[in-house]
Amino acid sequence: MLNFTDGIGKRLMAAALGVTLAAGSIAPAFAASQLLNVSYDPTRELYKDFNAAFQKHWKAEGGDDVTIRQSHGGSGAQARSVIDGLDADVVTLALESDINAIQKTGKIKEDWRTRLPNNASPYTSTIVFLVRKGNPKGIKNWGDLVKGDVQIVTPNPKTSGGARWNYLAAWAWANEEFKGDQDKIKAYISDLYKRAPVLDTGARGSTVTFAQRQIGDVLLAWENEAYLAGEEFGKDAFDIVVPPISILAEPPVAVVDSVVDAKGTRKVAEAYLQYLYSDEGQNIAAKHFYRPSKREVVKPELLKQLPDIKLVTIDDPLFGGWKKAQPEHFGDGGIFDQIYKPGAK
């Protein structure tokens, strides 16, 4: 009996020791030269490569041994964490509006979008189609998505950034096809979403639905996600179809001013983001199927997999920027709410 109570005493001592050890090991980790890059889901593989390249570059330039930590999640949720106090030195998110949300708290200065070239987007991406091997339904363009019994897989535009780009890309095609006839465009978008058997909450979820659970004939996906799925699930399982027209997505990056000033990491954080625009940074982005902003510095064989197509931007008068497009299309009672009724046939 006494042994047992002694055991508790020992256990408490061990625990106390554990606390001290843990506290001791955490403190220096924060003090060393370290960057935290808070990013969104599909960039994991990209930044794994890029971080290694930057560490080497920074050392060669006479810098110290910089460690770069990564945090990934849904773009909106990640912005929320930074607002709540996650000490990101740099944010590399999916949407301009997510960085704007952080900027509103004062953690990022207002001019962030002009501090780096190309609207602070070192790489861009677009929406393409991932279809089953051999393209059995003959899908080549946006119009083919609403032919016959084609079923599409896309995440929910209410919750997913990627899904909004899908929707806007379809809209951009329909606008050209129907010469701006609003009723015809809405009828097309409505038909499109009736063909989605399931709307996942995020882009990765949709990829898994299509690739692993084998649901649907075509996945509307980020170009880089489509290639990644091809690599992960075997190149003989899917084909990638790049439509002649799509949307230009510009995932932006920014230094979090309040954090780098407090930690004294501004110099290395700024160098880190600038290195994304370097020859090596651009080639790494292209290797991971992001469209480089400086095509001229990228190896031709990497560019071959990212064919030139017509890309409509969000700032096109058709959409009028995120500030206008967000409430108009995706807000409560917006166009998406009007045309999409779950379960309606």
Which DSSP string do the residues of 19-44 spell out, in sequence order? HHHHHHHHHHHHHSSEEEEEEEGGGH
Distance of alpha carbon 111 from alpha carbon 99, whole angstroms: 12
Nearest distance, CB of residue 59 and other proteins, angstroms = 19
* Beta carbon of residue 84, minimum distance to other proteins (angstroms, whole number): 4
Instruction: Specify the DSSP class assigned to residue 307.
Output: -
Binding track over 9-28 against other proteins, x by CB under 8 A: --xx-xx--xx--x---x--
Which of 4, 60, 296, 307 lies at the binding interface for other proteins (CB under 8 A)? 4
Given 59, 69, 147, 310, the residue binding other proteins (CB under 8 A):
69
Q: Is 81 in the site for other proteins (CB under 8 A)?
A: yes
Question: How many angstroms separate the CA atoms of 222 and 241, rounded?
Answer: 12
Identified binder of other proteins from the candidate list 5, 111, 301, 343, rule CB under 8 A: 5
C-alpha distances (whole Å) from 11 to each of 18, 265, 296 are 10, 41, 63
Tell me which of 53, 86, 101, 198 binds other proteins, using CB under 8 A: 86
By beta-carbon proximity to other proteins, the closer residue of 44 and 295 is: 44
Residue type, 192: L
String of DSSP letters for 111-176: THHHHSHHHH-SEEB-EEEEEETT-TT---SGGGGGSTT--EE---TTT-HHHHHHHHHHHHHHHH
Q: Residue 74: helix, strand or coil by DSSP?
A: coil
- Contact string 220-259 vs other proteins (x = CB under 8 A): --------x---xx--------------------------
89 binds other proteins (CB under 8 A): no
215 binds other proteins per the rule CB under 8 A: no
Residues at the contact surface with other proteins, assessed by CB under 8 A: 1-2, 4-5, 8, 11-12, 14-15, 18-19, 22, 26, 29-30, 36, 41, 44-45, 69-73, 81, 83-87, 105, 107, 204, 228, 232-233
